[in-house]
Amino acid sequence: MTTARLGFWIAHFNILAVCGVLLGAFGIQFGEGELPCPLCVLQRMAMLLCALGPAYIVQRARSGAVETHDFATGYGLSIIAAVAGAAIAGRQVLLHIVPPDPGYGDPVLGLHLYTWSLVVFITVLLVSGVNLTFARELTPTGITAGWPSRAVLGLLATIIAANAVSVFFEEGFHWILPDDPDRYRLFDDLGWR
């Protein structure tokens, strides 16, 4: 029962970790005025998908019926999303790896955000693999989910909505997001600038 409770709270921590990374990205976007490029937007979407795996487990626990295959499904979804996200982040790293390319955006702690994104996806892969390895022991059976679970799932839903709104404001009524966005095109489309 102790490891089942641990598995339950690990799922919460995984969601919160991804939410923290995305809140940091929003901080850079709005605080420093660095708009995400199309590859950055795709990486954010992949991170959100990584968080939906543990969110599935938490939601199943809220309904009271989590089985080992539910636990495996949640972390399997995270692995698929992390592989896709790592491929996108790896592509962006390779686009800017040849000197004298300064990279896209300002570095944070010596690395660009897309490099940190690759680190996040590799971490999600490792954590999900460990959770799957111990799926029988960590499956949260018989655990009652209360307000902390609702709060974590609510935070994730808010960040998903905020990302959708942010991309809509950045892209406006256009089909393609520019490679190097410099403004929120919706304001131009509506004549507000």
| Mean pLDDT to the nearest integer, 138-155 | 82
Question: What predicted TM-score, i.e. pTM, was given to this entire model?
Answer: 0.89
CB neighbours of 150 closer than 8 A, spacing ≥ 6?
Answer: 62
CB atoms within 10 A of CB 104: 18
| Mean pLDDT to the nearest integer, 85-111 | 86
Structural domains of the chain sorted by starting position, each given as residue range(s) with its CATH number in brackets: 2-189 (1.20.1550)
Q: When comparing pLDDT for 119 and 61, which is higher?
A: 119
Q: Of 111-120, 126-135, 140-149, which gets the smallest average pLDDT?
A: 140-149
Q: Is the pLDDT of residue 193 over 70?
A: no
Task: Give the sign of the dihedral formed by CA 82, CA 85, CA 91, CA 97.
Answer: negative
> What does the angle CA 133 – CA 136 – CA 138 come to, to the nearest 5 degrees?
80
Q: Of 91-95, 103-107, 140-144, which gets the smallest average pLDDT?
A: 140-144
Average pLDDT of the chain is: 88
Q: Is the pLDDT of residue 19 over 60?
A: yes
How many secondary structure helices (H) and strands (E) does the chain include? 7, 0
